[in-house]
Amino acid sequence: MNSRISPLIECLRAAGEPTRLRILALLRQRDLSVGELVQLLEQSQPRLSHHLKALTAAGLVERLPEGSFVFYRSATQGMGKIFLDSLFFQLSDDDPELSKDAERLEEVSSARATSAEAYFSSIAENWDRLRSMHSPSEAIEKALLDLAGPGPYARMLDFGTGTGRMLSLFAPLAAEAEGIDLSHHMLTVARANLERDGIETARVRQGNVTSVPFETESADLVIIHQVLHYMDAPNRAIAEAGRVLKSGGKLLIVDFAPHDLEFLRAEHGHHRLGMSHEAMSAWASDAGLTIDPPLSFAPPAGEEEGLTVNIWRALKPATSVENTA
């Protein structure tokens, strides 16, 4: 059989079942775990797992393991995405059953928000203490937007997304935005925040910033915000950023300048007490990037244990072919 017809038939077989169509419609709106689909569709986990296995095998759904959880996402590329775009273009937005499923998504959003609030409450004291030690986030975020430029960006990636704040900040400038983080708890917070902010073009998934699950030269903009000081080998994250950036793409790094506050290492898990520009320059060079001197933000006046925040911008040079085009 023709090599292009066979995958199409597999897509038709997989999608041509009422429950699977409902699953696909839900996953087009947001990433969901098996447990959340059980709640939404009121069907058994074994049955839904069977449907998800068939949809994954047909390339219509992507499987995203996250610790003891597994999240699912509708296909974002290839034949699967083309098929789904065509399929849902032909479906009515006001189909009664699909509309009812969409309304029940609010229950999932509410549960996520509750879980996120509980986790964040447990770390709020430490979080607020760190925020008080450096320049206000609003000033740093404004500078980030200025350094990034107006865009638009086809794809923005956020390494170590944490609460998802960078995704909310930059999503209006990007057709697609995605964040990764190792912590399932922080991903729960990020998902809840993105849903609260009504951000539909950004998603998150579990991943390691030293080996990101993204294709080479697939992003216009990469953000690494307050992540590197937690790492033993920050150069590996910068190397990955260099790999996934397109020619002409930008990397923005936010981190602390060198300091001697040892309690941050002992009590907050900081592996490195700030980042020097010399080290950052060497790592960027090794990754094939050119880097500007940092833009610095002094700590608040009167803060005895203050932290200076630096923002670095690095560029991936355009290829010689692009330069002469």
Q: Could you give the dihedral angle defined by the CA atoms of residues 186, 190, 192 and 196, in that order, rounded to the nearest 10 degrees? A: 150
pTM confidence score: 0.79
The helix-helix angle for 45-57 and 5-15 (nearest 10°) equals: 160
Mean pLDDT value of segment 143-158: 95
Phi, psi of 246 (to 5 degrees): -75, 160
Q: What is the percent of the chain where pLDDT is above 90?
A: 50
The helix-helix angle for 45-57 and 34-41 (nearest 10°) equals: 120
Confidence of residue 93 (pLDDT cuts 50, 70, 90): low
> Quick one: pLDDT at residue 78?
86
Cα separation of 13 and 9, whole Å? Answer: 6
> Quick one: pLDDT at residue 56?
94
Residue given tokens 């203050």 in the structure block: 306
Q: Would the pLDDT of 264 be above 90?
A: no
Cα separation of 68 and 62, whole Å? Answer: 17
Neighbouring residues of 205: CB distance < 8 A, sequence distance ≥ 6:
31, 64, 66, 71, 73, 178, 179, 180, 187, 213
DSSP state for residue 144 in the 8-state scheme: H
Mean pLDDT value of segment 208-237: 93
Size (the chain), residues: 325
Would you call 323 exposed, middle or buried from its count of C-beta atoms within 10 A (0-12, 13-18, 19+)? exposed
